[in-house]
């Protein structure tokens, strides 16, 4: 079954808006696990506007499920943090500086050499590597050349198109997933997945190992409660 990794960035956004430690991001990670999540994702950004680097260290101490740290590996601070914390998985995202949120995958052809070298650094440390990619065949083929363990399909386009035409929305993702399976790449996915579009995505993507979901899940939790919401998302993957 596809694993649900809860992205807790938005707990940190709320905490940082007032200083102090409410809500407690470490407790958010503990509770996500308690409520049935298969893992916890964080995406520290260089300005630490939500997750702080220290949060990664603190979460590592309590994590009993899978810990996934996403971020921009062009930042040496990010590389150092991941090598220090040693999560189960690092997801490399080609964020530009000051970006509001992630909005594109790697060009795995242009950056093939850089990716190969960087991925090896993490793999040598025993950390599984996933790279964020658009559902484009050339990029999937390129990903296989980098030595990455997995790809994370960037699903913002799917989420947008799903509202108009779900068959059309899923088509490039399914084609990309079939190719990734042929190449022996593991498949994760994330960005803008929600209660409306998740089940259809999971049903049509062969070999989908993990989804990481934050924004919509935390927004739903405000109305439905954190435990109930995690259970509802899990059910979409059953």
Ligand X SMILES: CC(=O)[C@@H](O)[C@H](O)COP(=O)(O)O
Ligand Y SMILES: NCC(=O)COP(=O)(O)O
Least CB distance to ligand Y at residue 93 (A): 8
The tokens 């990481």 sit on which residue?
212
User: With CB under 6 A, what is the number of residues at the site for ligand X?
Assistant: 12
The conformation of residue 154, written as its DSSP 8-state character, comes to E
Size of the site for ligand Y (CB under 6 A): 13
CB atoms within 10 A of CB 124: 9
Q: Which of 66, 70, 152, 161 is catalytic?
A: 70
Q: Per CB under 6 A, does 41 bind ligand Y?
A: yes
CB 212 within 8 Å of CB 178: no
Contacts of 217 (CB under 8 A, 6+ apart): 6, 7, 194, 229, 230, 233
Determine the Cα–Cα distance for residues 9 and 235; give it in Å rounded to an integer: 22
Q: Is 190 in the site for ligand Y (CB under 6 A)?
A: yes
CB 40 within 8 A of CB 13: no
User: Of 142 and 214, which CB lies nearer to ligand Y in the complex structure?
Assistant: 214
Stretch that binds ligand Y, among 121-129, 133-141, 195-203, 212-220 (CB under 6 A): 212-220
Q: Let me know the angle formed at the C-alpha of 130 by 27 and 226, rounded to the nearest 5 degrees.
A: 25
Q: Which residues in 45-64 contact ligand X (CB under 6 A)?
A: 45
Instruction: Compare residues 98 and 238 and give the one whose CB is closer to ligand X.
Output: 98
Candidate list 66, 161, 191, 210, residue with the active-site label: 191
Q: Looking at beta carbons only, is 142 or 214 nearer to ligand X?
A: 214
- Which DSSP category does 22 fall into? S
Letters for 114-133 (x = contact with ligand X by CB under 6 A, - = none) are ------------------x-
Q: Are 221 and 194 in contact (CB under 8 A)?
A: no
Closest approach, Cβ 101 to ligand X, in A, equals: 3
Query: Is 191 designated active site?
Result: yes
Binding residues: 7, 18, 45, 50, 101, 192, 214-215
User: Under the rule (CB under 6 A), what is the footprint of ligand Y?
Assistant: 7, 41, 70, 152, 190-193, 212-216
């Amino acid at each position: 079954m596809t694993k649900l990794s809860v992205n807790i960035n938005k707990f940190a956004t709320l905490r940082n808006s007032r200083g102090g430690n409410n809500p407690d991001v470490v407790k958010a990670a503990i509770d996500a696990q308690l409520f049935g999540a298969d893992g916890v994702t964080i995406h520290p950004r260089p300005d630490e506007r939500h997750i702080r680097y220290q949060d990664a260290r603190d979460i590592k101490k309590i994590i009993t499920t899978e810990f996934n740290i996403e971020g921009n590996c062009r930042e040496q601070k990010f590389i150092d943090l991941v090598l220090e914390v040693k999560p189960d998985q690092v997801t490399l995202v080609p964020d530009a500086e000051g970006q509001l949120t992630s909005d594109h995958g790697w060009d795995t052809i242009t950056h093939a050499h850089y990716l190969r070298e960087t991925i090896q650094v993490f793999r040598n440390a025993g950390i599984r590597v996933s790279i964020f990619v658009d559902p484009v065949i050339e990029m999937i083929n390129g990903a296989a050349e980098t030595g990455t363990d997995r790809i994370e399909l960037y699903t913002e386009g799917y989420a947008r198109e799903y509202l108009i035409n779900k068959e059309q929305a899923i088509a490039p993702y399914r084609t990309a997933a079939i190719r990734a399976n042929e190449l022996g790449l593991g498949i994760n996915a994330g960005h803008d997945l929600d209660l409306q579009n998740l089940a259809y995505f999971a049903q049509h993507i062969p070999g989908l190992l993990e989804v990481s979901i934050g924004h919509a899940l935390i927004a739903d939790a405000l109305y439905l409660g954190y435990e109930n919401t995690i259970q509802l998302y899990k059910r979409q993957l059953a």
